[in-house]
Amino acid sequence: MTSAFTAEIERETHDLYDRVRHVIPDVEWSVHAPLISAINQLKRERKALILVHNYMTPEIFHGVADYSGDSLGLAQFGARTEGDVIVMCGVHFMAETAKILSPEKTVLLPDLQAGCSLAASITGADVRALRARHPGLPVVTYVNTSAEVKAESDICCTSANAVQVVESLGVDKVIFIPDQFLGQYVASQTKVELVMWEGACEVHERFSGAELREFRSMHPGIHVMAHPECPDDVLQEADYVGSTSAMIDHVGKVHPKQVAMITECSMAGNVAVEFPDIEFIQPCNLCPHMKRITLPRILAALETLSPAIDVPADIAQRARLSLERMLAVGRSAARD
């Protein structure tokens, strides 16, 4: 049980709140601060790393994270950093990926119900059926998938490197799963033919080109950035298309006066902390799965060292190969 918002906790968290006060009201901070203090103390005692996805709420993203970023970046950071415990503040497939890359560590997911509509859209059996219908075609799998789907794949990709991964295979045609909208975007950027699956992210698929045109009419001159998991009419209306990490970098480079980030709502609040002079217009499509991760649940996970994620050894080994093949493409490009 956490303590009240005492004068000591107020002093302890004062500098942190100074950074986030324009995105977290005072009345909310008095609730968050005791939890943040307790979590940060306990993670040191547990030798734990708290990895926080870009879609977490600002009190988590800025209050307790040892590292924040996209799903693959979180898992990679956990693998190369010392510590006994990883607390994944994201969704189930992210915790699985962290466990695959850090099998010797305890990986905790504060709420096992934090799933993903995209990951749930396809199974390992579906991948095997696709292979049977399209013999000989390599399977390129978005990292936003379960461990069993990665295990049935030839190579993984992220939204940032999907085109590069597809073209690295040196073939005319591939199976690309499971996000149909990311697949459509990749197909528009390459001559490789893609056999696609009809999966989608329940957050990104709800955006529309008409919605973006309305933003522009209400906010003339606004700079619109969209994630490639969005439908094509959204991408056509955007000024920039990129992954979550790429969008954050782009804001720093372009530094627009007003910006709309067409992705999960909380990300804009997190980025706004770093750019207080930029006005962020937030199109609030929230991920119900991400929002299951809260400060009280993070604290409970650290207290009980549960719920812990496990991936069967045979699945983990094959899934890791798919991830490593993707990472090798990146290393080869860096050498080139």
Q: Please state the rounded mean pLDDT for residues 265-282.
A: 92
- Do residues 24 and 59 lie in contact, with contact meaning Cβ atoms separated by under 8 Å? yes
For residue 62, the tally of other CB atoms under 10 A from its CB is 22
Question: Using one digit for the tens of pLDDT, what is the confidence trace for 51-67?
Answer: 999 999 999 999 999 99
- Among 123, 288, 270, which Cα is nearest to 203's? 288
Backbone angles phi and psi of 285, in degrees to 5: -95, 110
Q: Which residues of 190-209 are buried (b: 16+ CB within 10 A; e: fewer)?
A: eebebbbbebbbebbbebeb
Question: Using one digit for the tens of pLDDT, what is the confidence trace for 122-136?
Answer: 999 999 999 999 999
Alpha carbon distance 149, 322 (integer Å): 10
Tokens of 54: 């870009």
Provide the pairing of β-strand 85-89 with 106-108. parallel
Using 50, 70 and 90 to split pLDDT, how confident is the model at 2? low
- Do residues 323 and 141 lie in contact, with contact meaning Cβ atoms separated by under 8 Å? no
First to last CA, the chain: 54
Backbone angles phi and psi of 70, in degrees to 5: -85, 175
Residue 47 above 60 pLDDT?
Answer: yes
Question: Using one digit for the tens of pLDDT, what is the confidence trace for 312-326?
Answer: 999 999 999 999 999
Q: What is the pLDDT of residue 215?
A: 87
- Among 244, 202, 210, which Cα is nearest to 226's? 244
Q: What is the pLDDT of residue 334?
A: 38
Claim: this prediction has a pTM higher than 0.85: yes
Using 50, 70 and 90 to split pLDDT, how confident is the model at 1? low
Alpha carbon distance 249, 171 (integer Å): 32
Question: Using one digit for the tens of pLDDT, what is the confidence trace for 156-184?
Answer: 999 999 999 999 999 999 999 999 999 99
Using 50, 70 and 90 to split pLDDT, how confident is the model at 335? very low
For residue 59, the tally of other CB atoms under 10 A from its CB is 23
Cβ neighbors of 110 (< 8 A, separation 6 or more) are: 87, 89, 292, 293, 294, 297, 298, 300, 301, 307
Amino acid at 134: H
Average pLDDT, the chain: 94
Q: Please state the rounded mean pLDDT for residues 285-298.
A: 96
Q: What is the pLDDT of residue 336?
A: 32
Most distant CA atoms of the chain, gap in Å:
66
**What are the chain's domains?**
7-113+290-304 (3.40.50.10800), 119-200+312-335 (3.40.50.10800), 204-280 (3.40.50.10800)
Q: What is the pLDDT of residue 276?
A: 92
Q: Please state the rounded mean pLDDT for residues 240-262.
A: 95
